[in-house]
């Protein structure tokens, strides 16, 4: 029986890029036969979030987001990474077998240092803790986007190093790469990939005037409505396609392509996106409000998830300790 696992960092409020890129797939996967483990990577978030209150807030908001968007605690295990300290013991075992060269080749590390981020030891060894997160639960399938494939390959390598030396201890996980249809690339307000680090995001649960104001920030040019335009060059339609059926999006595209009197301006397109997004996330927003009004229930779900996750991690840790002579 397959075991699916993934994690998400509480490094900020979850935006629509997080939803269409990962969260939606995680929730859909819980309907597949097998075990499902999803954790909130609060230890990983320490490489970028340094304010304690912010980290606590973002961690709870991430848990609430998953639950509001449809994660069922009866079908999937949800917990905080920091509630399972055994992963750090497993991470150390992996570190004793992992060469420096593997970590130096990590794309995420090189990208962040290229952006001028001062590297910490935690940022450098991030892939080892991520590997421990995966291997601690005997995960067989890890859903990832294309930008995370290297981390999964590094996990496979680390499991191989340890197993080659001590025997078959860790299960070698396989990459579950989402299709383009499953995981849509989400463009930010400025046309770049939507990312918290770029400050170009739209929070999943934003609503009303605030949402309208944010959508109005989507960058456009100064061409008048009547001027015919190529809709494929307007990333407004990338956002619109997330929330509307294809035939409806095509109707808007044809009007823009034709131009002339009565053609929609950018304001009309942004208004249509606002209405579609309001409707799309309306049920989840209501569920979120219910969860925030009952914090004890969220705590109960996370505690129950941590108990299940820790039981599995303890089994794997014991197996690894015995193999390398610590027991």
Q: Which residues are catalytic?
A: 112, 193, 196
Instruction: Confirm if 76 and 38 have CB atoms less than 8 A apart.
Output: yes
Instruction: Confirm if 40 and 81 have CB atoms less than 8 A apart.
Output: yes
For the chain, the C-alpha Rg in angstroms (whole number) is 22
Q: With helix as H, strand as E and coil as C, how does 6-30 read?
A: EEECCCCCCEHHHHHHHHHHHHHHC
| SS3 of residue 173 by DSSP | coil
For the beta sheet containing 174-177, the strands, ordered from the edge strand earlier in sequence to the opposite edge, are 77-80, 35-40, 3-8, 141-144, 174-177
**Residue 80 DSSP one-character state:** E
**What is the C-alpha to C-alpha distance for residues 111 and 200, in angstroms, rounded to an integer?**
18
**What is the C-alpha to C-alpha distance for residues 29 and 190, in angstroms, rounded to an integer?**
31
**What is the C-alpha to C-alpha distance for residues 18 and 14, in angstroms, rounded to an integer?**
6
**What is the C-alpha to C-alpha distance for residues 189 and 272, in angstroms, rounded to an integer?**
16
């Amino acid at each position: 029986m397959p075991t699916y696992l993934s994690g998400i960092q509480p490094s900020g409020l979850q935006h629509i890029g997080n939803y269409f890129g990962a969260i939606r797939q995680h929730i859909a996967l819980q309907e597949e036969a097998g075990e499902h483990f999803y954790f909130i990577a609060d230890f990983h978030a320490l490489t970028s979030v340094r304010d304690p209150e912010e980290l606590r807030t973002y961690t709870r908001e991430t848990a609430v987001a998953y639950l509001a968007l449809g994660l069922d605690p009866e079908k999937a295990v949800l917990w905080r990474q920091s509630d399972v300290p055994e992963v750090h013991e497993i991470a150390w075992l992996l570190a004793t077998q992992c060469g420096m060269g593997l970590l130096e080749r990590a794309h995420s590390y090189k990208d962040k240092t290229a952006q001028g981020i001062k590297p910490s030891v935690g940022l450098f060894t991030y892939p080892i803790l991520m590997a421990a997160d995966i291997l601690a639960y005997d995960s067989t399938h890890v859903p990832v986007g294309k930008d995370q494939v290297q981390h999964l390959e590094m996990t496979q390598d680390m499991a191989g190093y340890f197993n080659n030396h001590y025997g078959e201890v860790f299960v070698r996980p396989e990459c579950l790469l989402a299709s383009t249809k499953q995981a849509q690339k989400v463009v930010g307000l400025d046309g770049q990939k939507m990312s918290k680090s770029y400050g170009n995001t739209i929070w999943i649960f934003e609503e009303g005037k605030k949402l309208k104001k944010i959508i109005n920030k989507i960058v456009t040019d100064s061409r008048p409505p009547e001027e015919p335009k190529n809709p494929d060059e307007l990333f407004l339609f990338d956002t619109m396609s997330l929330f509307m059926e294809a035939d409806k999006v095509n109707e808007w595209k044809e009007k823009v392509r034709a131009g002339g009197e009565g053609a929609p301006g950018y304001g009309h397109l942004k208004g249509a996106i606002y209405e579609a997004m309001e409707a799309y996330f309306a049920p989840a927003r209501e569920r979120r409000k219910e969860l925030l009004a009952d914090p004890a229930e969220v705590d109960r779900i996370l505690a129950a998830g941590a108990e299940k996750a820790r039981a599995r991690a303890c089994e794997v840790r014991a197996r690894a300790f015995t193999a390398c002579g610590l027991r």
